[in-house]
């Protein structure tokens, strides 16, 4: 016999918000039954309308806020409620930092049963205009090109001239390139009909160097009036170092395709994180918030507590960003990454910085590192910075078997961090402390660095 739900569709009820979901919706409970309601903040009392009910949870719409949170603010972006890019502009930045700290602490305790020091979130002095890469989908409206972001839970493009979390220079470049393409009759890609040419405009900018790369992502191998378009882009964009053409002719949501060619200038632009220089290609993985990346890596380096004689393994090393930071303070660093292009970039970046005590290997960390261990290669410190799914069980078991004195875990997903820390603690490690870092202000995302030591 199925239980009767405490609310029904179209009910109008009074609730108190208790928490936020991963997409920024407020969470309220009616007799233990969760309701998810966009735009609510913890502690607020409100009147809501139930719009949908499932067996275990339901959805509502905010009708009236009866008691506001002291952290509620007016979102400055005019398309905030339609666009799916940000989730927290209606929450003050102080409130965002507190919420992210609470989220990390709660998840560690609930999922991992980890009771450790979680420091206050390290935030930005200016939590706007931080993204150094823009990837703007292109559409058409009334015969002209438009660019913007997809409406929440849809592929409907909301036209916009600026994004408040992107660097202003990137907004200006996207608008200029869009206007130039429009002038020469370039057609936007039509997802439904798989017709048209221009899918996305991508712009990358070096935060320190100011160097700019423009990437035109098209369905077609050729761009009509290509020479004239390139010439106008060169004439109109200061600090331009590179124009790249990427071809993606597949029916897919993935932005970039397999074919990339240089139309003008260099294949890469350069930028710095601290005093480490990086060459960035169109397809390079490079953190979009370099200011907070420096904060994150400084904390990881601090937690590693290197004295100069250590061997360090950097699992999931990407283009070598953390590896190169570590190499300046270690005897030897070994980096592993599954993406061959990333390892190619990592090797180039090591040469670019005249760093020679690093070795990079292509492969899955959960296969390569166990093989190293079987061959007798061990580490004093092991650094992991896995994708959102966390570390593979085989890698965690190898860490437990290898017994490095210190493990530093950089995480972009508190839930998988908590799960993996539990496994490492059961295997003989102690989580000494965890530091949340706000890499993506105005969004729900939070990074965290954990310091673990081997129990004696």
Q: Which residues are designated catalytic?
A: 412
339 and 246, same domain (yes or no): no
Q: Would residue 2 count as lying in a domain? A: no
184 and 296, same domain (yes or no): no
Q: Would residue 348 count as lying in a domain? A: yes
> What averages of pLDDT result for each successive group of 10 residues across the chain (456 residues)?
80 96 92 95 97 95 97 94 89 97 96 97 98 95 87 80 95 97 95 93 97 98 97 98 97 93 97 94 91 96 96 94 95 95 94 97 93 91 96 94 96 97 98 98 97 94
Q: Would residue 91 count as lying in a domain? A: no
Torsion of CA 154, 159, 164, 166, to 10 degrees: 80
445 and 332, same domain (yes or no): yes
Longest dimension (CA), the chain: 72
Q: Quick one: pLDDT at residue 1?
A: 37
Domain boundary among 217, 238, 273: 273
Give me the number of domains the chain comprises.
3
Question: Which tokens belong to 64?
Answer: 């009236």
Q: Would residue 37 count as lying in a domain? A: yes
pTM, two decimal places = 0.92
Domain containing 309 equals 97-125+289-454
Q: Would residue 138 count as lying in a domain? A: yes
- Which secondary structure element, helix H or strand E, spans residue 144, and what is its range? strand 144-150
314 and 442, same domain (yes or no): yes
Distance of alpha carbon 117 from alpha carbon 124, whole angstroms: 21
Q: Would residue 6 count as lying in a domain? A: no
Domain boundary among 28, 52, 67: 67
181 and 225, same domain (yes or no): yes
Q: Would residue 92 count as lying in a domain? A: no
117 and 138, same domain (yes or no): no
Distance of alpha carbon 165 from alpha carbon 134, whole angstroms: 10
137 and 121, same domain (yes or no): no
Distances in Å between the alpha carbon of 213 and those of 119, 239, 246? Answer: 37, 9, 13
User: Phi first, then psi: what are they for 110, rounded to 5°?
Assistant: -75, -50
398 and 333, same domain (yes or no): yes
**Cross-strand bridge partners of residue 261:** 245
Please, what's the b/e burial string for 74-103 (b: 16 or more CB within 10 A of its CB; e: otherwise)?
Answer: ebebebbebbebbbbbbbbbebbbbbbbbb
102 and 139, same domain (yes or no): no
Q: Tell me, what DSSP letter sits at residue 332? A: E
* Cα separation of the two ends of the chain: 54
Q: Would residue 16 count as lying in a domain? A: yes
220 and 315, same domain (yes or no): no
The CATH code of the domain that includes 53 is 2.40.50.140
Q: 410 with 449: CB under 8 angstroms?
A: yes
The 10 Å Cβ neighbour count of residue 171 is 20
Nearest to 295 by CA among 269, 316, 270, 325: 325
Nearest to 71 by CA among 83, 88, 48, 84: 88
């Amino acid at each position: 016999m199925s239980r009767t739900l405490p609310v029904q569709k179209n009910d109008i009820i009074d609730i108190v918000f208790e928490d936020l979901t991963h997409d920024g919706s407020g969470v309220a409970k009616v007799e233990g039954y969760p309701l998810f309601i966009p735009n609510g903040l913890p502690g607020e009392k409100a009147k809501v309308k139930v719009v949908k009910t499932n067996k275990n949870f339901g959805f509502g719409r905010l009708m009236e806020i009866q008691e506001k949170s002291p952290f509620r603010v007016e979102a400055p972006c005019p398309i905030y409620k339609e666009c799916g890019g940000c989730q927290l502009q209606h929450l003050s930045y102080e409130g965002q930092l507190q919420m992210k700290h609470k989220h990390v602490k709660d998840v560690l305790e609930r999922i991992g049963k980890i009771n450790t020091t979680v420091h206050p979130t390290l935030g930005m002095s200016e939590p706007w205009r931080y993204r150094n890469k823009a990837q703007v989908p292109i559409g058409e409206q009334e015969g002209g090109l438009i660019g913007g972001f997809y409406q929440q839970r849809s592929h409907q493009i909301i036209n916009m001239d600026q994004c408040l979390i992107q660097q202003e220079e990137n907004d200006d470049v996207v608008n200029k390139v869009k206007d130039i393409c429009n002038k020469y009759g370039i057609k936007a890609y039509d997802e439904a009909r798989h017709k048209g040419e221009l899918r996305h405009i991508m712009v990358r900018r070096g935060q320190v160097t100011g160097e700019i790369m423009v990437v035109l992502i098209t369905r077609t191998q050729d761009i009509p009036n290509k020479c004239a378009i390139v010439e106008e882009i060169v004439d109109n964009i200061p600090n331009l170092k590179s124009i790249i053409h990427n071809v993606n002719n597949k029916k897919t949501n993935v932005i970039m395709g397999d074919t990339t060619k240089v139309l003008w200038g260099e294949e890469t632009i350069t930028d710095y994180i601290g005093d480490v220089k990086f060459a960035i290609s169109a397809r390079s993985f490079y953190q979009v918030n370099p200011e907070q990346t420096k904060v994150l890596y400084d904390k990881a380096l601090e937690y590693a507590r290197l004295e100069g004689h250590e061997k360090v393994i950097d699992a999931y090393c990407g283009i070598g960003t953390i590896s190169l930071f570590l190499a300046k303070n270690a005897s030897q660093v070994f980096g592993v990454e599954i993406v061959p292009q990333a390892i190619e970039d990592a090797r180039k970046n090591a040469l670019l910085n005249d760093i020679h005590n690093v070795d990079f290997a292509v492969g899955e960390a959960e296969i390569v590192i166990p093989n190293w261990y079987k061959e007798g290669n061990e580490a004093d410190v092991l650094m992991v910075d896995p994708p959102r799914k966390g570390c593979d069980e085989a890698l965690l078991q190898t860490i437990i078997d290898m017994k490095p004195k210190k493990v530093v875990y950089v995480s972009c997903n508190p839930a998988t961090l908590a799960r993996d820390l539990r496994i490492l603690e059961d295997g003989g490690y102690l989580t000494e402390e965890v530091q949340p870092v706000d890499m993506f202000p105005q969004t729900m995302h939070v990074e965290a660095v954990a310091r673990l030591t081997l129990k004696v």
